[in-house]
Each structure stands twice: as C-alpha cells, then as structure tokens.
Structure 1
C-alpha cells in the first residue's frame, strides 16, 4: 500500500512538472494577465511613419480608463493592446472607438490596430520578450506582428 502511494506521488509530480513546460515564457509574460506589466514599446522593422512607439504609448497611457499598454510598431502597422480598469469595462467599445479616433487624429499616416483583448495583449507581451531576448529577428518579429493583427481582425 505504501509503495502504491509513493508511485502515485512520483507520477503525479512528473506530470505536474511536464505540464508547465508548454511555452518558453518569462515571468513577466506569465503574469501579464494578472497584474500590471507595463511592457516597453518595441519596433520590429524600420518604418516610414512619423509616429514613435514611445509617443504612442504615452498617448494611450494618458487615458484614465486604461492601466496597462503594449505597443508594437511594425513596418506599416502599429499594434496597441491595452487593459481597461475594472470600473470602465462596461464602456469598452466606446473606449476603443475614442482611442482609435485619438490616435488616428494625432498620427494620420499610421495604420493602427487597437485591442482590449487579453489574448492580443498576451501575444504582444510574448513578442516583446522574444525580441528583447534576441530569440527572433526583425523579419520574424514583423511576421508575428502580422499574425497577431490578423488574429485581432478575425475576432471582430
């Protein structure tokens, strides 16, 4: 009986250890949905738009309804993923519309994709971590950015 308990415990520990090895995420990425991570804005490739990723982040972060913003600037597109404070969640569509209008007015030459979806925010955080660690090149990062944008467009 004691052997059975030991074997069961060892098997359970091995299963629990291997179940957590799905992705190569950093601690900040794993906690991105639970707390404020405030990821740095990144650029995948050089672009011809005048909008700086840091300026866009400051512009979005200045809105009182939002508390966490991820900005990724690609060759043609800029992805803005954000989290909405709990008290404002009933007005998410209005906030997204207001934010999109604000960004397009300030940076008319840029193509923005704006999302409050947690999945998009998480993917943006993962992309930022991979670029920061040097795991992927600028071209690969641009491809991943386009996949994230396509995912966002399929959602709507």
Structure 2
C-alpha cells in the first residue's frame, strides 16, 4: 500500500517536471492551432519596413481577422490572414474588403491576398527562414514568387 502511494507520487512529480521543461517550438509548427503573429517581412534589401508594418496594422484592425502575415517583395506584397471561426461564412466579402482597403491606402502596390491556411503556413516558414539567416534575399524573393503563384493556382 505504501509502495503504491510512493509510486503514484513519483509518477506525478516526473510528469510535472517533464511538462515544465522549456521546448523550442517554431511558429510554423503551431501556426494552424494558435495565433503566431509573425513580424512583417520584406525580401528587398535596404528597404524600410514602415510600409509593411502599416499594411499589417491596417489588415489586423479588421475585427473578423485574428492573425495576419505580410511579406513584401520586389513586385508583389503577400497578405495572408486567418478568419475568426464565426466569420468564415463571409470569407469572400472579407477578402473583397481587405483588397479594397489595401488598394485605397496603398495604390502603387501589387497585393496578393489569401485566407488559405497552407499559404499562411508557407509565409510563416519563409519568415522563420529569413530570421534564421537560412535564405538570402534573392532566394527569399524566389520563394515569395512561388507562394504567390501557388495562391493564384488555388483560385
């Protein structure tokens, strides 16, 4: 009887210590389950990220959205977002509203807008690789073009 209690206490302590160990988990591994809030990214060298941050702030201000990723390249600016669950019935209207808002505020930019989870995940992965220094600016630009093409193929 005393051995059982000792065993149970040891197992509880073991499981508690295992749960408290800090794990390094990338945002891309959890991007579909939680809000990752990736930082805005520009693949262009020596460009200020003020415009990219403005774009993210504008899109994030919409109440129907809860996670936004923005990647700016030479030609295209990719804006990917997640829609709150109760607003998923109005996704076409939300996309139209986002497009309209972006075109009005930034008329010179060429935007690609998507609410697709796969595209969001690819944007988060691109962001992580750029932060880690695994991609040069030219390779990041090529990857951005591939993601934009993937977005167009899905329509």
- C-alpha distance after superposition, 1:136-156 (max 9, x if no partner): 100000000000000000000
Cα distance 1:148–1:139, how it changes in 2: closer, same or farther (>3 A)? same
- Report the aligned-residue RMSD: 1.8
Shift of 1:51: 7.4
State the TM-score, normalized to the length of structure 1. Answer: 0.80
Q: Report runs of 4+ in structure 1 exceeding 2 Å deviation.
A: none
Shift of 1:28: 1.1
Shift of 1:76: 1.5
**CA–CA separation in structure 1 for the residues paired with 2:70 and 2:54:** 10
Equivalent position of 2:87 in the other structure: 88
Equivalent position of 1:137 in the other structure: 136
- C-alpha distance after superposition, 1:60-87 (max 9, x if no partner): 0000000000000001110000000001
Number of residues of Structure 1 aligned to a counterpart in Structure 2: 131
Equivalent position of 1:33 in the other structure: 32
Secondary structure at 2:130's aligned position in 1?
Answer: helix
Secondary structure at 1:87's aligned position in 2?
Answer: helix
**CA–CA separation in structure 1 for the residues paired with 2:133 and 2:154:** 29
Unaligned runs of 5+ in 1: 1-25
Contact 2:45–2:137, Cα closer than 8 Å, also in 1 = no
**CA–CA separation in structure 1 for the residues paired with 2:27 and 2:145:** 23
